[in-house]
Structure 1
Amino acid sequence: MVIAGKPDLITLPSGVVVADKPDLITPPDGPPAALRLWRPTIYDVKTGRARCSDRIQVMLYMHLAPQALPAYAGTRPAGCVVYNGSKIDIPPEAVDQKFIEAFEYFLGVVAGLEPAWKVPSRHECRFCDIARTECPERIEG
């Protein structure tokens, strides 16, 4: 079984909705010895050069898929970032407690009731689409 094109929206148990999807989720080669040993692999294909954020993105998929997609409940997926001519394998152990705690912290900041701190800078503001009329802290130039 190969699953691709899964839903774009993942609703977490907290009610927060994450919008994204991996390119491909596949089971291991050959029949699994037992369902509890079944380990899917989550693939995401990238263009351009390798970035740390690519690995983090796949690790988020590895963490969220078992929570949000019933077919993967109870599994610990492996991950793989694929580039033109190379790939980076990510073992299930990469999604450890420290990673999960950091994700939950930042999810709380982004989805919390309190607005996140504004830290404007010339470098960041130049990429932002929010107009100065909506963000008086915006730094132009």
Structure 2
Amino acid sequence: MSADTLAAPRTPHTTPRKRGANLEKWGWIYMRASGVLLVVLIFGHLFVNLMLGDGIHGIDFAFVAGKFASPFWQWWDVLMLWLAFIHGANGMRTIVNDYVTGATARRVLVWALWLSAGLMIVLGTLVVFTFDPCLGIENSTTEWLIEKCAA
């Protein structure tokens, strides 16, 4: 068989299979699982922020401070952040692998994707877990925030 013809669909694979983890398979599984979980997390986030309370008009510094005072919402937002960045970086990695023909350019772009996603995950996680609502107290008109920070 020449290099420019395709084998019949039922022809056994003759090249030896590589040993080790099949990262493409696990990336594919991750995309499906994280996609389903992200739908739940994002719509839960949107429902709480936009439908409950005063809707979009109720979102201000005090609203965010109140949400980030709860470990439940901190972990909700961090999980959404982590899953979204890894999901997006993995999707971009797939696009780079599909369309970038040079091995060096592909390697550089994939490394840049993972480094930028990792940096954003670290920075976002730090923002969520080190958020201090009392830093912006001088601009707040919300009574509970002023009382909380005065203590």
Normalised by the length of structure 1, the TM-score is: 0.27
Normalised by the length of structure 2, the TM-score is: 0.26
Higher strand share: 1
Which of the two has higher C-alpha Rg?
Answer: 2
Larger RCO: Structure 1 or Structure 2 (Cα < 8 Å, ≥ 6 residues apart)? 2
Higher helix share: 2
